[in-house]
């Protein structure tokens, strides 16, 4: 949790979407150990020490007000972590603000990513007043590209980063889809 920074809950009728804390660390690490979950994401997933350091840093580093990570749980099973959604400065520094999501495999295909990310987009525009939000999605990640489209995001360009190709999607404040 960012020192002095408290993120609002972004709960929906089906989901509990609360600020990610160190209490979520083991669940996040377990999720990342599934090679299908991290298939399109570069990271230290195979090095236990670096992986833990990476996730701890992401949980505890300071973010600008209103930005950070939220853990996702279902209201019907609030003790079970199903993933997270983020709204953070692109590449850690901005100026663009990126949205992202990651779910345990058991939660895939149930609309959870779209529902949680929709709450985060509404927060980005309604609470923070951001003019736009981006998502860089691995070219092969068809499911995440579908989520982006459901959020009202449009494809902007292909970007290359560290030898990997990503599709950049963007939603402008006036392009927000409701419902």
Tell me the backbone φ, ψ of residue 141, rounded to 5 degrees. -90, 80
Query: Domain containing 86 — which CATH number?
Result: 3.40.630.30
Query: Is 37 contained in some domain?
Result: yes
Query: Is 155 contained in some domain?
Result: no
Query: Is 157 contained in some domain?
Result: no
Mean pLDDT by runs of 10 across the 179 residues of the chain is 73 97 98 97 95 97 96 97 97 92 97 98 96 96 97 95 90 67
- Indicate the SS3 state at residue 130: coil
The range of the structural domain enclosing residue 95 comes to 15-129
What pLDDT shows up at residue 177?
53
- Strands (E) in the chain, as ranges, are 15-19, 68-74, 77-89, 97-103, 132-138, 154-161, 164-172
Query: Is 42 contained in some domain?
Result: yes
Query: Is 83 contained in some domain?
Result: yes
Query: Is 52 contained in some domain?
Result: yes
The total number of structural domains that make up the chain? 1
What pLDDT shows up at residue 2?
43
- What DSSP string runs through 49-97? HHHHHHHHHHHHS---TT-EEEEEEETTEEEEEEEEEEEEEGGGT-SSE
Gap between the Cα atoms of 56 and 41, Å rounded? 17
Query: Is 34 contained in some domain?
Result: yes
Query: Is 74 contained in some domain?
Result: yes
What pLDDT shows up at residue 1?
41
The structure's pTM equals 0.92
What pLDDT shows up at residue 161?
81
Gap between the Cα atoms of 109 and 62, Å rounded? 32
């Amino acid at each position: 949790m960012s020192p002095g920074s408290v993120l609002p809950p972004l709960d929906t009728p089906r989901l509990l979407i609360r600020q990610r804390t160190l209490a979520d660390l083991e669940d996040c690490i377990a999720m990342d150990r599934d090679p299908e979950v991290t298939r399109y994401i570069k990271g230290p997933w195979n090095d236990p020490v670096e992986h833990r350091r990476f996730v701890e840093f992401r949980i505890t580093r300071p973010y600008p007000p209103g930005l950070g990570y939220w853990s996702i749980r279902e209201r019907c099973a609030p003790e079970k972590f199903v993933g997270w959604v983020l709204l953070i400065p692109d590449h850690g520094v901005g100026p663009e603000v990126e949205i992202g999501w990651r779910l345990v495999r058991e939660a895939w295909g149930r609309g959870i990513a779209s529902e949680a990310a929709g709450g985060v987009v509404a927060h980005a525009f309604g609470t923070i007043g951001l003019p736009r939000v981006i998502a860089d999605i691995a070219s092969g990640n068809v499911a995440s590209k579908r989520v982006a489209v459901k959020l009202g995001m449009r494809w902007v360009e292909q970007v290359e980063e560290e030898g990997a190709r990503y599709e950049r999607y963007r939603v402008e404040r006036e392009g927000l889809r409701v419902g």
